[in-house]
Every structure is written in structure tokens, then in C-alpha cells.
Structure 1
């Protein structure tokens, strides 16, 4: 009974966070979420916290990766100018204590927190902020090819070699504690976008010393920089060590805010849900993420605390229109009609996971209740394939091995079921399994022969642009999708002020994307964490902004 109560409380808290977090986020300053509020000196952190993850990170430079496991670690080490309040969803002070916009939303002035140092002892100041923005703006073309998931492009649209197309104009040092960021055109979600892990501020000295823009180090099948093996920020935890067994962070004794109870974090990878579960039951870890539907009930029966996050991700079947015959709408429609989403969700996702007919979650402004959905209709799918002249051409179907993500709990099983459904309507599928740590993400997001693939997107801030912009705001080799009209509409919507007009525009965009089927959205998954009895509370966040200074351990 106790475990059921904890589970219900976790669900309720997640729902409150989500409901409040989806309100319009403003730049109104408030108390720092990390600062100490008591009058007495806080106790020195002493605890060791072992956290089970689904895989090792794909690198620890968040500016050049879109990997959620990388973000989990770098959120502890690096901080941005602004953060997100976990209970209200408001943009809050972090490395900036105040801000204001001017010039019709084209200029943002930030007052920076004083007496903050990077982990390498160098000072945090306006020059450091501009060094980071200028690095992102001037990313060399070679790096951009090696790292196709860079957030700067999806948010700011272009780099210094195409300044007329970039939303970012420049960063100016006004004084050591004042910085101004200028845009070329209004961007309503600018402040919210700055809460992305990709825009956390690194030590300029460390970036230069470790050649952060040179991806000449191999790790887990990925090309990364030396800096991506040892990030240096201002956060409450410092990078300590990383080997095949674990990644270790230690408390930052010079941290400007609350350091919490934890002195050492060990992130320990277990690529199977069953092995993560057993490690928790054996006491080898104190918590783990990404409980799957197959282990959920077992954990509840054993009295394990489970905290659920409200859905803020979308799982989809990617379709690459650069591969014939997927350039034909009828073939893409047939693929959508061949997929039984209800069966997939019932078998492989946690209860209350909702079907998806679009890429924006239902609680976000811009969600379209009337977005066209073709539904599950295998007979109609066969008719469309015949009409399109499909003659059984082989379609390579990429899917990841040894991976669990909030949006993709058991990829091998999900692949097997989707493949079975596609074959049932006459589609010739060739399986292409790729280990997640052998470059799966880069392979499906780069030009290639991937016809179909499994992937998803986890939102990082409460704006429809955070979903539609990165996925469909520009031509991407993941989908071979090049609808200039949709690109223009997304560009226009992101500059509109919050309100009915912007909401209507995003609803129209959702409907247009759904009608052209560049991918098949399948589910808005609920994700969950399991906690040992050692944990009193965990800061579960729909946007995964979970800083471990806010973990509370029992006395």
C-alpha cells in the first residue's frame, strides 16, 4: 500500500509540474532554484549516489550532441544563463540574475552573477559568455557534418557563414557583469531556448586547451573532441572520471549555490531494463531511469518507489523521402495505415501512454485536435501501395540495439512488431540493427540508405517550436523532407507573440505536416524512474531538467 501511495504522489507531482510548466514562460526574475535560503551554513555534502542509466553518454559537450544521457550528466556540470523552475515552468535566474529585452525583442541585456568561477579556477564573466556564443555561431563546416544534431542550427537557423539567415546577430560585452545578445529578428522562444543544455556556458580556457571544435577522439563509436571527455563549467558538480564501467562527478566545493547532500555521483550504465532493475534490488544503485512496461508491475509488487514523468516526448517511425519509393505520398500513407499504434502502446509502453497523430504533445499550445490521422487500415494500405506502383522494393529499416530512451523503451521489440505489421501489407523490410553506441543516432540523421528508422524527440522547453523546429524547420537528411512552405510557416510562427494567433499558426503547421507524412508519430510516452528506500525525493521533470543537488536522501 505504501508503494502505491508513493507511486500516485509521483504521478500527481509530475502532472502538476507539467501543467504549470506549459504555461507561457516569461523572463521575470525570481529566486535562484539553486541558491541557499537558510540562515545557517548548509551541511557539507557527504553522500555517494549511484544512478543507473540506459547507456553511456555519446560525449559530454552538449553544444554538439542531442543525446539525453549526455544532457543528464552535463546538466550537473554546466549551467546556462537561465534555468527552468521545476514547479512553475518559469524561466529563472541561473548564471544571469536579471534580464530585459529591448528594441522590439531584438536585444537582450543580462546581468551576470558575480564571484562565480569555472571549475578550472577561471572567472565567469561577460567575456566568457560571448566566447561561448561566438563559438557556437562560428562552428566550422567540418564539425557540423560530423555532428548533425547541433541545437544552435535548429534554434538560430544558420551560422556566421550565412549571417543573413541566422537569428543570432552578435554578443557584446557591456561590462564584466553585463552582456548583450542581439538578434536579427524577433524570436518569441529565445529565453526558453537558452534553457537547453546545448547553451550552457563552458570555460573558454578549457574549450581552447582541449580543442573543443576538433572531433578527433573516438569514444563509443563516436567522433568527439577532447573537451567532450572532460567538460568544465560552473555547475554544482565537477567532472572526475569516465571509464567503461561508470562516469563519476564530485561536488564543486566552490559552487555559488546550494550543494545539496551528494558528494559523489556515479552514473553506471545497464543497457537492459532487467539488469537496471536487478542492480537496484541488489543495492548496487540507488535509482535508475527508464522503467519499462515489462518491469513496472514487478517493481510495484516489491514495494519499490516509482516516480512517473508526464509525457513530453514523441516516438516516431522516421521515413526518408530521399530513398525511392518513399518519395511517393501514397507509399508513406500506406506505411502509416499499416501501423497498429494501439497494439504497440499496449505491449511496449507504460499505462496511460497516449497515441500520437502529430509531433506536438497535447498539453502544448499549438496541439491540433483535428490533425489528420489515417488510422490503422491494412486493407487500404495495400490499395495505396498498388496505386503507387510499389513492386516489393527492399526498404532498409534501421533500429537501435542496447538502448532505452524515454521515447523508445524497448527498440528491438518495437521494431519486431512494426516490421511484422509492414510485412503484413506487402512491404519488403530489410532489418538493419545498429548498436546505439556505434553511432546509430548519427547514421539515421545523416544522408544514407536508411529508408525507415526508429527514433523520437524529447522536448526541453514548453514551446511547440522545440518540437517542430528541430524536426521539420529545415531540410534534414533524417527525413529527406524539403517543404519550403512548412519551413517558412515555422519560421514565421516562432516570431509571433504568444497568444491565439501563434497557437492557430502552429495548429495549421501540425495539420500540414501530418497530411504529408514525413514520419509516423506513434506515441507520447510516459517515462518513469525507480528509487531505492535511500531516496526521500527526486526532482522528476518532464523536460529532464533534473539536477542532483535537489535529490533528497533519508537521514
Structure 2
């Protein structure tokens, strides 16, 4: 049965964190544009799906969130970016959710699960009161239809994104059965399902909390040709389903027009319906423009607060909500670029970077230097992992020994975007460029608009020595980081180490305990020894909401679903009001 809405609180919660930025003037200015480029494409839900009417004061039932970039698509099985997931979390739910206090796996569409056959299978009891947004029933058959769709996804479809979560978690698709962890899905009854694996896979349950494993209506997957990339939007091929997804979540898709995605409350939602009737995600790439939109009342909140904006937001009475660090920023290196494959060259890079100087004034307080890719939140010891001390003299010496003679080194970095691990990319690049140039590297800056395929560029093009990127965790397990980044060969790093790949494949089969902890310590050491990429920082990220918001479900793994937002009984300012 649906649960009752949470009572609206009348006073602001004392638990909101107000994060004050460190004072100081930064000498670097980002070259960005405050105006997003409009997109003519408009996608809407079927005509029968009308947005609900809002009774009384409409400002009490709407919520507008400013995002840093357009979603790349709304089929979570085929994307891996924060802004796409932010939206699809509202629409599609998985079997497993996230505990809001611990970030551990929690029941969602599955009420419980049981490990069987020594970890080679799991039986799930399903909720029996759930329907998809198109009225189709959620049951064991629907679960198996989704798993089979992911497992048998055609090669032409899955080439859409180099970081498809099914491949990251289950290692291979049906056309490589000898490598796949997934074996089968079998209904045991209308609301009970058995998922069988080819071996123990300790990360299986935590990984099911990934937005990529949100359950979609099998009818919609078929009717909207989810595996047929027949539509182009923003230079990316998508399916009709990726333009109008159908799930079981508290909000259903209404439209995607230009730089806005609109959702409406699903009246037959099985859980807490919450207060909000209409959610709008509005793309505002520039951080200063998002700040102005919040203060003027055009939006109710936004993510990825920068150091430059934090102090002003606090002065204006906005609520800054800090997350525990659960992402890693790294300097990627392409070993297919001449010279980068030499370990002395990569060691020179590691000694040339002053991580503390990079973090100072460019990241929010609480950001820490990284000497491995697994965040501190996971509690793995790091004392024995190799650390490359900042030593520009040693860097120059190693660079000379590597045979490097000053050839230009293309360095890609994104423009006009903020990410959880990189809120000011132009400034971070400028500081890294200063440090590397001092050590003797001849850098060729290659700025690329995020919206023009930056990720695809740095994960595929050969004309690249260095690039800036990061990874945000979506579930609580070390494989979410080292497995996703280094579990197999990728064009991003052109890193070939079958021994490391085997170590990572073994680690996910180990039960939680000392042996598994030791395995991931060894993996971190191997990565530190070879330096396929240089971890730079575990950044703190923060969202900000207006005083109109009494509570916001801030989460280290970004599991922030808007039916859990609580609003105050206040009017938003109109355009004619003084701000």
C-alpha cells in the first residue's frame, strides 16, 4: 500500500550545512558563456499523458532545478553521466535502492533478497503493488525482460557509450558468454525472481542500485525501440525510448524541449508521493548564471557549487548542502601517444604535480589529495600505497631519462561545464599546466566544449597525451571505481595489463572481509606503480537550495529523488519583486 506523505515541516531544519568558502581572490578567470545554446528538438509524452492540475498555490507544487549540462539521453542503460542519471532516478527505480543514512543497499522494488548457491544466485521478493507509468504491471516477468535486454543488447546499440554499466558490472554481453558474470533470470512466481550468475560476485547487490539498472516497462522498451538508435539529438544517436522513458518512479516523463526536461508526479506511485507535482530540470551551464537564477527565484536549487560562489550564496541566505566525497578527479594519460607509454615519463608527471597547490582555492573545503582511486569513504587503508611526492627537479630528471625532447603534448580539458569532481575545469587546467610546464613538459592546450562530445573525445581519439576527467561513484563498493576505470582495456588510457585485469576480476568474487580488503589494496598498489592515470583529488561536492526548501535528500552517491523534498509555505518571488 502507498505510504502517507511526510508531514510538511514549518521551520528550517537545523541540520542544513552552511559551507563558507575560503576568502581570497583567484587570479584565473574561466572562459565560459552564461547562455546555453538552445536545441530545437522537442520530445513529449503521449497525448493521453497530461500534466496534473495543481490545486491552490502552484509555487507549492513545483520545483525547478538548475543543471550544469543537458542529459546525454534518458535511457539509463546507455549513459553514465551525472545529469542524465539525476533525471532518470526520478523516473525509473531498480530492485535495490540506497539507504539515505549509510549509502548501503536497501530494498526498493525488491522487498528482500536471499543469496543462494554460495553466491552464484539471488532470489528476490518483489513488491506486489507497483505499476509502470504506462499502466503495465511490474512483476517477475518484467524484471527478466529488463535483464535480458541488457544482456543481449546489440553491439551497434552498446557502442553508444564506452562506460555502459552492464558491461562494467557483468564484464560482458551475451555474445561473449565465457566472460559474462550474468547467466540467467527466471521467474519463481508472479512476484519472485531468481537471478543466476556464473560465479560469486560480491558487488552484485550494491551494483543493482546503479541508475543504469532501473526497471523500464517492457511494453515501452519494445514500442519505443529501445535498442534502435534512430533519432539524433545534440549530435548523439538515441532511441525513441531514450527521449521518453517509462518506469515506476514517483515522477513520469512529460517533455524534453530545448534545455528543459519536465516531469510530473505519478498519481499511482506505490510509495510516498511527496509534495511536488511538477519538476523541471533547466540547463544553465555557467555557475554564475545558476547562482543568479537561484537568487532571483527562477530556480529552486542547483548542484556543483564552486568556491567562487559559496561565500555569496551563504551571504544571500541560500542553503549549501555538502556531500561526503565520493568521486575522484584524475589526470588521464594515453599510452598510445608517443612517449607516454614510458613509465619514466609517467613518473615524471606524478612528481611534477603539486596536488595541495591544485586543491587550494579551487575546491571546496574538505577536498583531499588522492594517492589512489578508491575514496576514503570505503575505509580501505592507504598507508602502503605508493605516493609520488611533489619534486619538480626529479620530474625534470625522469623526463630527460625517458627520452622526451620537448614535443608538443596535446592536453584535453572541458569547457563550460561543472562536474561533481571538477567544478572549475578551466582553472584546474591552468594550474596543472603551470606545474607541468615548470617541470619541462610542452603542453598543447585542447579545450573542448563538454556539450560537443568531450567524454567521447577523450575516451576514443588518439591525438591526446593528457586529459582531465573523473569518476563519481553510484554505489558503495571499490569495484565501482577500479573495476569501472581499470577492469579491462579501454581506449581512454590504452593501458594493457592483463595481470591487473585478472586481479580486479578476482576481487569482486571474494566475500567481504580481510582477504577482499587486501586484494583491493594490492590493486591500488598496482595502479600506483604503473600510473595509467594520476589521481589528483577526492573533491567535496555541494548542492544549494533556496530557503523555500525545508529538506533535500542530499546523498554522497547522488541518490537524490525529489519526492523526498520538503517545501516551506512561502511564495516564490515574481519577476517584479525585489530580490
> Same fold per TM (> 0.5)?
yes
Tell me whether 1:279 sits opposite 2:308 in the alignment: no
Runs of 4 or more above 6 Å deviation: 2-5
Q: Which sections of structure 2, spanning at least 5 residues, go unmatched?
A: 1-10, 21-54, 570-579
Cα 1:403–1:9 change in 2 (3 A) is closer
Which residue in 2 is equivalent to 1:530? 544
Cα distance in 2, alignment partners of residues 253 and 174 from structure 1: 30
Cα distance in 1, alignment partners of residues 266 and 444 from structure 2: 50
Which of 386, 392, 395 matches 1:378? Answer: 392
Aligned pairs (5 A) from 1:409-424: 409-424=423-438
Secondary structure in 2 aligned to 1:146? coil
Which of 232, 237, 257 matches 2:271? Answer: 257
How much has 1:118 moved relative to structure 2? 0.9
Q: Map Cα deviations across residues 516-555 of structure 1 (whole Å, 9 max, x no partner).
A: 1111111100011111110001110000000101111113
Secondary structure in 1 aligned to 2:263? strand
Cα distance in 2, alignment partners of residues 10 and 112 from structure 1: 41
How much has 1:57 moved relative to structure 2? 0.7
Q: Map Cα deviations across residues 187-226 of structure 1 (whole Å, 9 max, x no partner).
A: 1111100000011111111111121112232222322222
Tell me whether 1:454 sits opposite 2:468 in the alignment: yes
Secondary structure in 2 aligned to 1:265? strand
Secondary structure in 1 aligned to 2:547? coil
Which shows bigger deviation, 73-82 or 242-251?
242-251
**Count of residues in Structure 1 that have an aligned counterpart in Structure 2:** 523
How much has 1:260 moved relative to structure 2? 0.3
Which residue in 2 is equivalent to 1:348? 362
Which of 425, 433, 436 matches 2:450? Answer: 436
**Preserved contact between residue 19 and residue 314 of structure 2 (Cα < 8 Å):** no
Cα distance in 1, alignment partners of residues 525 and 415 from structure 2: 33
Cα 1:258–1:106 change in 2 (3 A) is same
How much has 1:505 moved relative to structure 2? 1.1
Tell me whether 1:91 sits opposite 2:105 in the alignment: yes
Which residue in 2 is equivalent to 1:314? 328
Aligned pairs (5 A) from 1:103-502: 103-502=117-516
How much has 1:420 moved relative to structure 2? 2.1
**Preserved contact between residue 304 and residue 419 of structure 2 (Cα < 8 Å):** yes
**Preserved contact between residue 329 and residue 421 of structure 2 (Cα < 8 Å):** yes
Tell me whether 1:541 sits opposite 2:555 in the alignment: yes
How much has 1:7 moved relative to structure 2? 5.1
Which shows bigger deviation, 410-419 or 249-258?
410-419
How much has 1:438 moved relative to structure 2? 1.1
How much has 1:186 moved relative to structure 2? 0.2
**Preserved contact between residue 348 and residue 410 of structure 1 (Cα < 8 Å):** yes
Which shows bigger deviation, 441-450 or 317-326?
441-450
**Counting helix residues as a fraction of each chain, which structure ranks higher?**
1
Q: Map Cα deviations across residues 257-292 of structure 1 (whole Å, 9 max, x no partner).
A: 111010000111111111111111101111111100
Cα distance in 1, alignment partners of residues 16 and 74 from structure 2: 32
Cα distance in 1, alignment partners of residues 475 and 162 from structure 2: 21
Q: Which sections of structure 1, spanning at least 5 residues, go unmatched?
A: 12-42
**Preserved contact between residue 316 and residue 523 of structure 1 (Cα < 8 Å):** yes
**Preserved contact between residue 359 and residue 367 of structure 2 (Cα < 8 Å):** yes
Cα distance in 2, alignment partners of residues 3 and 130 from structure 1: 44
Which of 9, 30, 54 matches 2:68? Answer: 54
How much has 1:3 moved relative to structure 2? 10
**Preserved contact between residue 3 and residue 304 of structure 1 (Cα < 8 Å):** no
